[in-house]
């Protein structure tokens, strides 16, 4: 029923579906960033629970909407193309983190030994300005896999998989957008300006990548299992390298873990009920 309604509203063109998916997830990112207007000072415990929920949604979506369909449906049961894509996606995020600071450091203020620093990452003398620029680059980098995943999902033509994936990423963008907005405000950025900028930034990144993902797998269908694996690998890397460490640094591990379990349950329910 959901897929039929989606088709009646937006037709059958996977490229247009990719545009719609990108707009939806970018809008939810803006919604999350804008919550600072009504929830002006969320506690660290609440933020850790929300980020844990986001991690659980992404974790389940990586398997139910990308890895498993990629293997079973689009590579005839052969896991190698999807697994190769997973490795490529993780390597891409790993190498990208060598150029910009880890989002974990930017949100928590606790530097890791392998985190890039503003002084050696950008030729900018003003340390504070360099930090703000790199803040934007790091968060933008970690929105890229989400846009690509949605585009790849719609490019496959399987709305039963693509719509739950779009909704899952949209849902997890709300707490993620809130956490990043709070961190930006704590770093001295204006509450109103950053909330608007967050929506524009996420849209500029996620919408074109959703379109690119839909176009690429539509034009070259053989790439689909690799692309699904790449998007899943990149999301899994963000979960393990950024979100989980961030939620386990301030003594709220239990509530963050419960949030993760809740996210997994919500995503599995979405996948079964809408798939």
pLDDT of the chain along its 275 residues, tens only? 788 888 888 888 888 999 999 999 988 988 888 888 888 778 889 989 988 998 999 899 999 989 999 999 888 899 999 999 999 999 988 887 766 655 545 444 455 555 545 444 444 444 554 555 555 666 677 778 888 889 888 988 888 888 988 998 898 888 888 877 777 777 666 666 766 676 667 667 888 888 888 888 877 778 889 999 998 998 899 888 878 887 888 888 999 999 999 999 998 988 888 76
Quote the CA–CA distance of 181 and 187 in Å, as a whole number.
10
Quote the CA–CA distance of 212 and 148 in Å, as a whole number.
7
Task: Give pTM, 2 decimals.
Answer: 0.80
Q: Could you give the residue ranges of the DSSP H alpha helices within the chain?
A: 2-10, 14-34, 44-61, 68-72, 80-96, 103-108, 118-121, 127-155, 159-186, 191-219, 224-238, 244-247, 253-274
Identify which of 141, 138, 110, 133 has the alpha carbon closest to the alpha carbon of residue 189: 133
Structure tokens given for 181 = 């907005």
User: Tokens 């995503």 — which residue?
Assistant: 267
Quote the CA–CA distance of 207 and 25 in Å, as a whole number.
8
Contacts of 173 (CB under 8 A, 6+ apart): 25, 28, 29, 31, 32, 54, 146, 202
């Amino acid at each position: 029923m959901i897929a039929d309604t989606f088709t009646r509203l937006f037709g059958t063109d996977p490229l247009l579906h990719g545009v719609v998916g990108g707009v939806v997830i970018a809008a939810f990112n803006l919604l999350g960033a804008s919550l600072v207007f009504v929830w002006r000072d969320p506690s660290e415990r609440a933020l850790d629970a929300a980020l844990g929920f986001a991690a659980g949604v992404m974790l389940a979506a990586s398997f139910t909407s990308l890895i498993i369909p990629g293997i079973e449906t689009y590579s005839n049961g052969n896991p190698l193309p999807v697994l190769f894509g997973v490795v490529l996606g993780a390597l891409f995020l790993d190498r990208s983190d060598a150029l910009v600071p880890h989002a974990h450091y930017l949100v928590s203020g606790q530097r890791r030994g392998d985190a890039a620093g503003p002084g050696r990452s950008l030729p900018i003398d003003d340390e504070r300005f360099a930090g703000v620029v790199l803040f934007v680059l790091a968060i933008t980098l970690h929105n890229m896999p989400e846009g690509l995943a949605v585009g790849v999902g719609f490019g496959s033509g399987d709305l039963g998989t693509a719509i739950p994936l779009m909704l899952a990423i949209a849902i997890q963008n709300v707490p993620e957008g809130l956490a990043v907005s709070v961190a930006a405000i704590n770093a001295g950025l204006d509450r109103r300006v950053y909330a608007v900028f967050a929506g524009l930034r996420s849209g500029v990144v996620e919408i074109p990548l959703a379109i690119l993902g839909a176009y690429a797998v539509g034009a070259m269908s053989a790439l689909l299992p690799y692309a699904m694996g790449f998007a899943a690998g990149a999301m899994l890397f963000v979960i393990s390298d950024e979100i989980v460490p961030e939620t386990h640094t301030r003594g709220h591990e239990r509530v963050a873990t419960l949030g993760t379990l809740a996210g997994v349950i919500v995503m599995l329910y979405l996948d079964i009920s809408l798939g």
